[in-house]
A and B are shown apart, each in its own frame.
Chain A
Amino acid sequence: MRRLSTALLLALAPSAALADGEMPQMDFSNPLTLDQVGWMAIIIVVLYLVLSRWGLPQMGKVLENRAAIIARDLAAARAAKLEADRAVALLTATLSSARTTAQAEVAKAVADAKAEAGAKAAALNTQLDAKLAEAEARIVAARNAAMAAIKPVASEAAGEMLLKLTGSAPAQEELVRRVDDALAARKAA
Protein backbone atom coordinates (compact mmCIF):
# COMPACT_ATOMS: atom_id res chain seq x y z
CA MET A 1 0.00 0.00 0.00
CA ARG A 2 2.81 2.31 0.94
CA ARG A 3 4.62 1.42 -2.28
CA LEU A 4 1.54 2.17 -4.31
CA SER A 5 1.00 5.54 -2.73
CA THR A 6 4.64 6.45 -3.32
CA ALA A 7 4.41 5.46 -6.97
CA LEU A 8 1.22 7.46 -7.32
CA LEU A 9 2.85 10.42 -5.65
CA LEU A 10 5.84 10.18 -8.01
CA ALA A 11 3.66 9.92 -11.08
CA LEU A 12 1.53 12.88 -10.09
CA ALA A 13 4.31 14.98 -8.65
CA PRO A 14 4.94 17.29 -11.65
CA SER A 15 1.28 18.10 -12.22
CA ALA A 16 0.72 18.39 -8.51
CA ALA A 17 3.66 20.73 -8.25
CA LEU A 18 2.26 22.97 -10.97
CA ALA A 19 -1.34 22.75 -9.87
CA ASP A 20 -0.42 23.34 -6.27
CA GLY A 21 -0.53 27.06 -6.48
CA GLU A 22 -0.76 29.77 -9.01
CA MET A 23 2.44 30.59 -10.90
CA PRO A 24 4.14 33.48 -9.09
CA GLN A 25 4.92 34.94 -12.51
CA MET A 26 1.22 35.36 -13.23
CA ASP A 27 0.34 36.77 -9.84
CA PHE A 28 -0.17 40.37 -10.83
CA SER A 29 -2.00 41.10 -7.59
CA ASN A 30 1.43 41.00 -5.98
CA PRO A 31 2.82 44.55 -6.34
CA LEU A 32 6.35 43.14 -6.55
CA THR A 33 5.57 41.55 -9.94
CA LEU A 34 5.32 44.95 -11.62
CA ASP A 35 7.64 46.80 -9.28
CA GLN A 36 10.54 44.60 -10.37
CA VAL A 37 10.01 45.95 -13.89
CA GLY A 38 10.46 49.51 -12.71
CA TRP A 39 13.70 48.64 -10.95
CA MET A 40 14.80 46.69 -14.03
CA ALA A 41 14.22 49.80 -16.13
CA ILE A 42 16.48 51.80 -13.83
CA ILE A 43 19.18 49.10 -13.77
CA ILE A 44 19.13 48.55 -17.52
CA VAL A 45 19.17 52.28 -18.32
CA VAL A 46 22.21 52.75 -16.08
CA LEU A 47 23.82 49.69 -17.66
CA TYR A 48 23.09 51.08 -21.13
CA LEU A 49 24.47 54.51 -20.30
CA VAL A 50 27.70 53.15 -18.78
CA LEU A 51 28.20 50.64 -21.59
CA SER A 52 27.46 53.07 -24.43
CA ARG A 53 29.46 55.98 -22.93
CA TRP A 54 32.41 54.11 -21.47
CA GLY A 55 32.71 50.34 -21.95
CA LEU A 56 31.84 49.80 -25.59
CA PRO A 57 33.71 52.83 -27.07
CA GLN A 58 36.81 51.93 -25.07
CA MET A 59 36.67 48.32 -26.21
CA GLY A 60 35.99 49.46 -29.78
CA LYS A 61 39.05 51.69 -29.58
CA VAL A 62 41.18 48.77 -28.37
CA LEU A 63 40.01 46.65 -31.29
CA GLU A 64 40.48 49.47 -33.82
CA ASN A 65 43.93 50.16 -32.43
CA ARG A 66 44.86 46.51 -32.83
CA ALA A 67 43.49 46.39 -36.37
CA ALA A 68 45.46 49.54 -37.22
CA ILE A 69 48.68 48.13 -35.75
CA ILE A 70 48.23 44.86 -37.61
CA ALA A 71 47.54 46.71 -40.86
CA ARG A 72 50.57 48.96 -40.27
CA ASP A 73 52.83 45.99 -39.56
CA LEU A 74 51.55 44.18 -42.62
CA ALA A 75 52.19 47.25 -44.77
CA ALA A 76 55.70 47.56 -43.30
CA ALA A 77 56.38 43.90 -44.00
CA ARG A 78 55.10 44.30 -47.54
CA ALA A 79 57.29 47.37 -48.05
CA ALA A 80 60.30 45.53 -46.63
CA LYS A 81 59.66 42.65 -48.98
CA LEU A 82 59.46 45.05 -51.94
CA GLU A 83 62.71 46.65 -50.77
CA ALA A 84 64.38 43.24 -50.48
CA ASP A 85 63.11 42.23 -53.91
CA ARG A 86 64.50 45.45 -55.35
CA ALA A 87 67.84 44.87 -53.61
CA VAL A 88 67.99 41.33 -54.95
CA ALA A 89 67.21 42.58 -58.47
CA LEU A 90 69.88 45.25 -58.10
CA LEU A 91 72.36 42.65 -56.88
CA THR A 92 71.60 40.35 -59.78
CA ALA A 93 71.95 43.17 -62.28
CA THR A 94 75.21 44.33 -60.70
CA LEU A 95 76.59 40.83 -60.67
CA SER A 96 75.73 40.19 -64.30
CA SER A 97 77.07 43.57 -65.41
CA ALA A 98 80.26 42.99 -63.42
CA ARG A 99 80.58 39.60 -65.05
CA THR A 100 80.21 41.07 -68.56
CA THR A 101 82.63 43.87 -67.71
CA ALA A 102 85.16 41.41 -66.37
CA GLN A 103 84.77 39.19 -69.40
CA ALA A 104 85.26 42.20 -71.69
CA GLU A 105 88.33 43.25 -69.67
CA VAL A 106 89.79 39.76 -69.92
CA ALA A 107 89.12 39.60 -73.64
CA LYS A 108 90.65 43.03 -74.12
CA ALA A 109 93.72 42.11 -72.09
CA VAL A 110 94.14 38.91 -74.08
CA ALA A 111 93.77 40.83 -77.34
CA ASP A 112 96.22 43.51 -76.14
CA ALA A 113 98.75 40.90 -75.10
CA LYS A 114 98.34 39.13 -78.41
CA ALA A 115 98.76 42.40 -80.32
CA GLU A 116 101.79 43.36 -78.28
CA ALA A 117 103.35 39.94 -78.73
CA GLY A 118 102.62 40.17 -82.45
CA ALA A 119 104.15 43.61 -82.66
CA LYS A 120 107.22 42.51 -80.74
CA ALA A 121 107.58 39.45 -82.95
CA ALA A 122 107.22 41.60 -86.05
CA ALA A 123 109.81 44.06 -84.75
CA LEU A 124 112.17 41.21 -83.93
CA ASN A 125 111.57 39.74 -87.38
CA THR A 126 112.38 43.00 -89.12
CA GLN A 127 115.45 43.41 -86.96
CA LEU A 128 116.56 39.88 -87.71
CA ASP A 129 115.75 40.40 -91.37
CA ALA A 130 117.84 43.51 -91.37
CA LYS A 131 120.71 41.71 -89.65
CA LEU A 132 120.35 38.80 -92.09
CA ALA A 133 120.37 41.16 -95.03
CA GLU A 134 123.40 42.94 -93.63
CA ALA A 135 125.17 39.65 -93.07
CA GLU A 136 124.27 38.50 -96.54
CA ALA A 137 125.51 41.76 -97.92
CA ARG A 138 128.74 41.32 -95.97
CA ILE A 139 129.09 37.80 -97.33
CA VAL A 140 128.45 39.00 -100.87
CA ALA A 141 130.96 41.78 -100.40
CA ALA A 142 133.49 39.38 -98.93
CA ARG A 143 132.95 36.93 -101.77
CA ASN A 144 133.17 39.72 -104.32
CA ALA A 145 136.30 40.93 -102.69
CA ALA A 146 137.63 37.38 -102.69
CA MET A 147 136.61 36.96 -106.27
CA ALA A 148 138.19 40.23 -107.20
CA ALA A 149 141.35 39.21 -105.39
CA ILE A 150 141.38 35.78 -107.08
CA LYS A 151 141.25 37.21 -110.64
CA PRO A 152 144.77 38.75 -110.83
CA VAL A 153 146.25 35.72 -109.07
CA ALA A 154 144.53 33.38 -111.55
CA SER A 155 145.49 35.37 -114.61
CA GLU A 156 149.05 35.70 -113.40
CA ALA A 157 149.19 32.00 -112.62
CA ALA A 158 147.67 31.22 -116.06
CA GLY A 159 150.24 33.54 -117.74
CA GLU A 160 153.12 31.86 -115.87
CA MET A 161 151.79 28.34 -116.74
CA LEU A 162 151.37 29.29 -120.43
CA LEU A 163 154.82 30.81 -120.46
CA LYS A 164 156.37 27.65 -119.06
CA LEU A 165 154.38 25.37 -121.38
CA THR A 166 154.51 27.34 -124.59
CA GLY A 167 157.27 29.74 -123.95
CA SER A 168 155.18 32.67 -124.91
CA ALA A 169 152.61 34.52 -122.92
CA PRO A 170 149.46 35.95 -124.40
CA ALA A 171 148.56 39.51 -123.87
CA GLN A 172 147.49 40.53 -120.40
CA GLU A 173 143.98 41.61 -121.52
CA GLU A 174 143.40 38.26 -123.23
CA LEU A 175 144.27 36.41 -120.05
CA VAL A 176 141.98 38.51 -117.84
CA ARG A 177 139.07 38.03 -120.28
CA ARG A 178 139.52 34.24 -120.33
CA VAL A 179 139.75 33.98 -116.58
CA ASP A 180 136.54 36.04 -116.26
CA ASP A 181 134.80 33.72 -118.70
CA ALA A 182 135.95 30.68 -116.78
CA LEU A 183 134.84 32.11 -113.46
CA ALA A 184 131.46 33.07 -114.97
CA ALA A 185 131.02 29.55 -116.37
CA ARG A 186 131.82 28.01 -112.95
CA LYS A 187 129.42 30.32 -111.25
CA ALA A 188 126.74 29.40 -113.78
CA ALA A 189 127.38 25.75 -113.18
Chain B
Amino acid sequence: MAGPSIDALGQFSLTTGLGPIGRAVNFTNSNEAMLAAAVIILGLFAIGLKAKALVPGRVQALVEVLYEFVHNMCVDTIGEEGRRFFPLVFTIFSFILLGNLIGLFPYFFAFTSHIAVTLALALFVFLFSTGVGFYTHGFGFLKFFVPSGVPGWLLPLLVPIEFISYLSRPVSLSVRLFANMTAGHVMWEVFAGFMLLLTAGLGVFGAIASVVPLGLNVALAALELLVAGLQAYVFAILTCLYLHDAVHMH
Protein backbone atom coordinates (compact mmCIF):
# COMPACT_ATOMS: atom_id res chain seq x y z
CA MET B 1 0.00 0.00 0.00
CA ALA B 2 1.33 3.37 -0.97
CA GLY B 3 1.30 6.48 1.19
CA PRO B 4 3.48 8.06 3.81
CA SER B 5 5.55 5.91 6.11
CA ILE B 6 7.59 6.85 9.10
CA ASP B 7 11.30 7.09 8.49
CA ALA B 8 12.47 7.75 12.01
CA LEU B 9 16.12 6.99 11.36
CA GLY B 10 16.66 8.87 8.14
CA GLN B 11 17.37 12.01 10.11
CA PHE B 12 20.55 10.41 11.44
CA SER B 13 22.00 9.39 8.07
CA LEU B 14 25.21 11.12 7.16
CA THR B 15 25.76 13.00 3.94
CA THR B 16 28.53 15.29 2.91
CA GLY B 17 28.18 18.98 3.54
CA LEU B 18 29.72 22.18 2.21
CA GLY B 19 29.14 21.20 -1.42
CA PRO B 20 31.87 19.68 -3.60
CA ILE B 21 34.67 20.63 -1.22
CA GLY B 22 32.99 18.76 1.60
CA ARG B 23 32.41 15.81 -0.71
CA ALA B 24 36.08 15.70 -1.57
CA VAL B 25 37.25 15.64 2.08
CA ASN B 26 34.25 13.79 3.58
CA PHE B 27 33.14 16.79 5.60
CA THR B 28 29.73 15.56 6.78
CA ASN B 29 26.48 17.25 7.67
CA SER B 30 27.20 16.44 11.32
CA ASN B 31 30.50 18.31 10.98
CA GLU B 32 28.53 21.26 9.66
CA ALA B 33 26.52 21.24 12.90
CA MET B 34 29.75 20.95 14.92
CA LEU B 35 31.18 23.90 13.02
CA ALA B 36 27.98 25.84 13.72
CA ALA B 37 28.24 24.98 17.43
CA ALA B 38 31.87 26.14 17.59
CA VAL B 39 31.07 29.31 15.65
CA ILE B 40 28.13 30.08 17.94
CA ILE B 41 30.26 29.56 21.07
CA LEU B 42 33.08 31.75 19.78
CA GLY B 43 30.57 34.29 18.47
CA LEU B 44 28.97 34.53 21.90
CA PHE B 45 32.42 35.13 23.39
CA ALA B 46 33.26 37.71 20.73
CA ILE B 47 30.03 39.64 21.38
CA GLY B 48 30.17 39.14 25.14
CA LEU B 49 33.77 40.36 25.35
CA LYS B 50 33.24 43.41 23.15
CA ALA B 51 32.12 45.71 25.94
CA LYS B 52 33.85 44.03 28.92
CA ALA B 53 31.40 46.07 30.92
CA LEU B 54 31.34 46.24 34.69
CA VAL B 55 27.57 45.82 34.48
CA PRO B 56 27.19 43.17 31.77
CA GLY B 57 24.76 43.28 28.89
CA ARG B 58 22.68 40.29 27.86
CA VAL B 59 25.24 38.36 25.83
CA GLN B 60 28.04 39.15 28.27
CA ALA B 61 25.84 38.01 31.17
CA LEU B 62 25.05 34.78 29.29
CA VAL B 63 28.73 34.03 28.69
CA GLU B 64 29.56 34.97 32.28
CA VAL B 65 26.87 32.62 33.60
CA LEU B 66 28.25 29.81 31.44
CA TYR B 67 31.81 30.58 32.53
CA GLU B 68 31.01 30.70 36.23
CA PHE B 69 28.74 27.64 36.03
CA VAL B 70 31.47 25.46 34.51
CA HIS B 71 34.18 27.07 36.65
CA ASN B 72 32.30 26.33 39.86
CA MET B 73 31.58 22.81 38.64
CA CYS B 74 35.30 22.23 38.04
CA VAL B 75 36.47 23.71 41.32
CA ASP B 76 33.72 22.13 43.41
CA THR B 77 34.14 18.68 41.89
CA ILE B 78 37.87 18.41 41.21
CA GLY B 79 39.14 20.85 43.83
CA GLU B 80 41.66 23.64 43.35
CA GLU B 81 43.45 21.53 40.71
CA GLY B 82 40.25 21.84 38.68
CA ARG B 83 41.36 25.26 37.44
CA ARG B 84 43.90 23.57 35.17
CA PHE B 85 41.21 21.45 33.53
CA PHE B 86 38.65 24.25 33.32
CA PRO B 87 39.27 25.17 29.64
CA LEU B 88 39.00 21.53 28.63
CA VAL B 89 35.80 20.91 30.59
CA PHE B 90 34.35 24.17 29.29
CA THR B 91 35.14 23.21 25.69
CA ILE B 92 33.53 19.78 26.07
CA PHE B 93 30.49 21.13 27.92
CA SER B 94 29.80 24.00 25.56
CA PHE B 95 30.41 21.83 22.48
CA ILE B 96 27.95 19.15 23.63
CA LEU B 97 25.41 21.69 24.92
CA LEU B 98 25.38 23.62 21.66
CA GLY B 99 25.30 20.35 19.69
CA ASN B 100 22.26 19.17 21.64
CA LEU B 101 20.52 22.53 21.29
CA ILE B 102 21.26 22.92 17.58
CA GLY B 103 19.91 19.43 17.01
CA LEU B 104 16.55 20.51 18.39
CA PHE B 105 15.93 22.81 15.42
CA PRO B 106 14.35 21.46 12.26
CA TYR B 107 16.81 20.76 9.41
CA PHE B 108 19.74 20.81 11.81
CA PHE B 109 21.74 17.71 12.51
CA ALA B 110 22.04 16.45 16.10
CA PHE B 111 25.65 15.23 16.04
CA THR B 112 25.46 14.04 19.67
CA SER B 113 23.03 11.35 18.46
CA HIS B 114 25.92 9.56 16.75
CA ILE B 115 27.61 6.91 18.85
CA ALA B 116 30.86 7.43 16.97
CA VAL B 117 30.90 11.07 18.08
CA THR B 118 29.95 10.45 21.70
CA LEU B 119 32.25 7.43 21.99
CA ALA B 120 35.15 9.45 20.63
CA LEU B 121 34.48 12.19 23.19
CA ALA B 122 34.04 9.67 26.01
CA LEU B 123 37.19 7.77 25.03
CA PHE B 124 39.12 10.99 24.97
CA VAL B 125 37.86 11.87 28.46
CA PHE B 126 38.63 8.34 29.66
CA LEU B 127 42.15 8.25 28.23
CA PHE B 128 42.88 11.82 29.32
CA SER B 129 41.76 11.23 32.92
CA THR B 130 43.69 7.95 33.05
CA GLY B 131 46.74 9.77 31.70
CA VAL B 132 46.32 12.47 34.35
CA GLY B 133 46.11 9.73 36.99
CA PHE B 134 49.37 8.11 35.89
CA TYR B 135 51.03 11.51 35.40
CA THR B 136 50.06 12.61 38.93
CA HIS B 137 50.66 9.38 40.85
CA GLY B 138 52.93 7.30 38.60
CA PHE B 139 52.29 3.61 38.89
CA GLY B 140 50.76 4.31 42.29
CA PHE B 141 47.62 5.14 40.34
CA LEU B 142 47.07 1.38 40.02
CA LYS B 143 46.21 1.41 43.72
CA PHE B 144 43.02 3.12 42.61
CA PHE B 145 41.72 -0.35 41.76
CA VAL B 146 42.43 -1.64 45.26
CA PRO B 147 39.68 -0.40 47.56
CA SER B 148 41.08 0.49 50.97
CA GLY B 149 39.76 -1.02 54.18
CA VAL B 150 38.60 -4.38 52.84
CA PRO B 151 39.92 -7.77 53.99
CA GLY B 152 42.68 -9.20 51.81
CA TRP B 153 40.81 -12.32 50.73
CA LEU B 154 38.16 -10.14 49.08
CA LEU B 155 40.69 -8.38 46.88
CA PRO B 156 40.88 -11.03 44.12
CA LEU B 157 37.16 -10.48 43.71
CA LEU B 158 37.05 -6.72 44.16
CA VAL B 159 39.99 -5.64 42.03
CA PRO B 160 38.56 -7.13 38.80
CA ILE B 161 35.19 -5.58 39.61
CA GLU B 162 36.80 -2.18 40.11
CA PHE B 163 38.80 -2.59 36.94
CA ILE B 164 35.76 -3.56 34.86
CA SER B 165 33.70 -0.71 36.30
CA TYR B 166 36.56 1.64 35.41
CA LEU B 167 36.69 0.29 31.87
CA SER B 168 32.93 0.65 31.51
CA ARG B 169 33.13 4.38 32.13
CA PRO B 170 33.55 5.46 28.49
CA VAL B 171 30.79 3.07 27.44
CA SER B 172 28.24 4.42 29.89
CA LEU B 173 29.37 7.99 29.26
CA SER B 174 28.94 7.72 25.48
CA VAL B 175 25.83 5.51 25.38
CA ARG B 176 23.99 7.75 27.85
CA LEU B 177 24.35 10.81 25.63
CA PHE B 178 23.86 8.96 22.34
CA ALA B 179 20.76 7.08 23.57
CA ASN B 180 19.12 10.13 25.09
CA MET B 181 19.52 12.20 21.97
CA THR B 182 18.59 9.41 19.58
CA ALA B 183 15.49 8.41 21.57
CA GLY B 184 14.25 11.98 21.72
CA HIS B 185 14.66 12.57 18.01
CA VAL B 186 13.13 9.21 17.07
CA MET B 187 10.09 9.95 19.25
CA TRP B 188 9.70 13.33 17.61
CA GLU B 189 9.87 11.81 14.17
CA VAL B 190 7.44 9.02 15.08
CA PHE B 191 4.82 11.38 16.46
CA ALA B 192 5.21 13.68 13.48
CA GLY B 193 4.81 10.64 11.23
CA PHE B 194 1.63 9.71 13.07
CA MET B 195 0.14 12.99 11.94
CA LEU B 196 0.86 12.18 8.30
CA LEU B 197 -0.49 8.64 8.68
CA LEU B 198 -3.65 9.80 10.41
CA THR B 199 -4.36 12.38 7.78
CA ALA B 200 -3.66 9.97 4.95
CA GLY B 201 -5.69 7.16 6.49
CA LEU B 202 -8.66 8.92 8.06
CA GLY B 203 -9.03 12.06 6.02
CA VAL B 204 -10.50 15.11 7.76
CA PHE B 205 -11.13 13.21 10.96
CA GLY B 206 -7.51 12.09 10.95
CA ALA B 207 -6.32 15.64 10.40
CA ILE B 208 -8.31 16.77 13.45
CA ALA B 209 -7.09 13.78 15.48
CA SER B 210 -3.48 14.58 14.66
CA VAL B 211 -3.76 17.43 17.16
CA VAL B 212 -2.95 14.76 19.76
CA PRO B 213 0.49 13.78 18.38
CA LEU B 214 1.14 17.47 17.70
CA GLY B 215 0.49 18.26 21.35
CA LEU B 216 2.72 15.38 22.37
CA ASN B 217 5.48 16.76 20.17
CA VAL B 218 5.12 20.19 21.77
CA ALA B 219 5.47 18.58 25.19
CA LEU B 220 8.40 16.55 23.88
CA ALA B 221 10.06 19.73 22.69
CA ALA B 222 10.10 21.00 26.27
CA LEU B 223 11.39 17.66 27.51
CA GLU B 224 14.11 17.56 24.83
CA LEU B 225 15.21 21.06 25.77
CA LEU B 226 15.64 19.83 29.33
CA VAL B 227 17.44 16.68 28.16
CA ALA B 228 19.75 18.73 25.94
CA GLY B 229 20.94 20.79 28.90
CA LEU B 230 20.91 17.93 31.35
CA GLN B 231 22.93 15.50 29.23
CA ALA B 232 25.56 18.14 28.50
CA TYR B 233 25.75 18.80 32.25
CA VAL B 234 25.95 15.08 33.04
CA PHE B 235 28.74 14.57 30.52
CA ALA B 236 30.68 17.52 31.95
CA ILE B 237 30.18 16.62 35.60
CA LEU B 238 31.22 13.02 34.96
CA THR B 239 34.31 14.31 33.18
CA CYS B 240 35.03 16.35 36.32
CA LEU B 241 34.43 13.32 38.53
CA TYR B 242 36.83 11.15 36.51
CA LEU B 243 39.43 13.91 36.69
CA HIS B 244 38.83 14.14 40.43
CA ASP B 245 39.48 10.42 40.75
CA ALA B 246 42.64 10.79 38.68
CA VAL B 247 43.93 13.67 40.80
CA HIS B 248 42.84 12.50 44.26
CA MET B 249 42.54 8.72 43.82
CA HIS B 250 39.46 8.36 45.97
Q: Could you tell me which residues of chain A, from 1 to 40, have a CB within 8 Å of some CB in chain B?
A: 2-3, 5-6, 9-10, 13-14, 16-18, 20-21, 23-26, 28, 30-37, 39-40
Residues of B within 8 Å of A34, CB to CB, are 116
Partner of A37, one of B1, B113, B116: B116
Q: Is B68 an interface residue (CB 8 A)?
A: yes
Interface residues on chain B, number (Cβ under 8 Å): 58
Assess whether A16 is in contact with B1, with CB atoms less than 8 Å apart.
Answer: no
Chain A binding surface SS class = helix
A51 to B93, CA, bound (A): 12
A6 to B198, CA, bound (A): 8
Taking the closest CB of chain B, its distance from the CB of A121, in whole angstroms, is 80
Partner of A51, one of B5, B34, B87, B193: B87
Q: Is A58 an interface residue (CB 8 A)?
A: yes
Q: Is B225 an interface residue (CB 8 A)?
A: no
Q: Is A135 an interface residue (CB 8 A)?
A: no
Assess whether A17 is in contact with B49, with CB atoms less than 8 Å apart.
Answer: no
Residues of A within 8 Å of B222, CB to CB, are none
Q: Could you tell me which residues of chain B, from 128 to 166, have a CB within 8 Å of some CB in chain A?
A: none
Interface string of A34-62 (1 = CB under 8 A from B): 11110111011011101110111011101
A28 to B120, CA, bound (A): 14
Partner of A32, one of B5, B8, B16, B178: B16
Q: Is A108 an interface residue (CB 8 A)?
A: no
Partner of A69, one of B9, B26, B54, B193: B54
Taking the closest CB of chain B, its distance from the CB of A25, in whole angstroms, is 5
Assess whether A25 is in contact with B114, with CB atoms less than 8 Å apart.
Answer: yes
A25 to B48, CA, bound (A): 36
Partner of B30, one of A14, A26, A36, A50: A36
Assess whether A56 is in contact with B86, with CB atoms less than 8 Å apart.
Answer: yes
Assess whether A39 is in contact with B28, with CB atoms less than 8 Å apart.
Answer: yes
A24 to B14, CA, bound (A): 7
Assess whether B12 is in contact with A20, with CB atoms less than 8 Å apart.
Answer: no
Assess whether B189 is in contact with A17, with CB atoms less than 8 Å apart.
Answer: yes
Residues of B within 8 Å of A86, CB to CB, are none
Assess whether A35 is in contact with B26, with CB atoms less than 8 Å apart.
Answer: yes
Chain B binding surface SS class = helix
Q: Is B216 an interface residue (CB 8 A)?
A: no
A31 to B25, CA, bound (A): 11
Assess whether B45 is in contact with A20, with CB atoms less than 8 Å apart.
Answer: no
Report the nearest A residue to B123, measured CB to CB.
Answer: A37
Assess whether B8 is in contact with A14, with CB atoms less than 8 Å apart.
Answer: yes
Report the nearest B residue to A59, measured CB to CB.
Answer: B67
Residues of A within 8 Å of B38, CB to CB, are 43-44, 46-47
Assess whether A13 is in contact with B7, with CB atoms less than 8 Å apart.
Answer: no
Interface string of B1-20 (1 = CB under 8 A from A): 10001111110111110000
A48 to B9, CA, bound (A): 31
A148 to B90, CA, bound (A): 139
Partner of B14, one of A18, A36, A59: A36
Assess whether B13 is in contact with A24, with CB atoms less than 8 Å apart.
Answer: yes
Residues of A within 8 Å of B6, CB to CB, are 13-14, 16-17
A-B contact pairs, 19 of them (CB 8 A): A5-B201, A13-B193, A17-B7, A17-B186, A17-B193, A20-B7, A24-B13, A31-B26, A34-B116, A36-B116, A44-B92, A47-B42, A51-B41, A51-B90, A52-B88, A56-B87, A60-B67, A62-B60, A65-B54
The 4 lowest CB-CB distance pairs between A and B, nearest first, are A6-B201, A52-B87, A17-B8, A55-B45
Residues of B near any A CB (own CB < 8 A): 1, 5-10, 12-16, 26-28, 30-31, 34-35, 38, 41-42, 45, 48-49, 52, 54, 60, 63-64, 67-68, 86-88, 90-92, 94-95, 111, 113-117, 120, 178, 182, 186, 189-190, 193-194, 197-198, 201-202
Excluding A28-B116, A40-B111, A66-B54, 19 further A-B contacts by CB distance (< 8 Å) are A5-B201, A6-B198, A13-B193, A18-B8, A24-B12, A24-B14, A30-B14, A32-B16, A33-B116, A36-B114, A36-B116, A37-B117, A39-B26, A40-B30, A40-B120, A44-B38, A44-B95, A52-B88, A59-B45
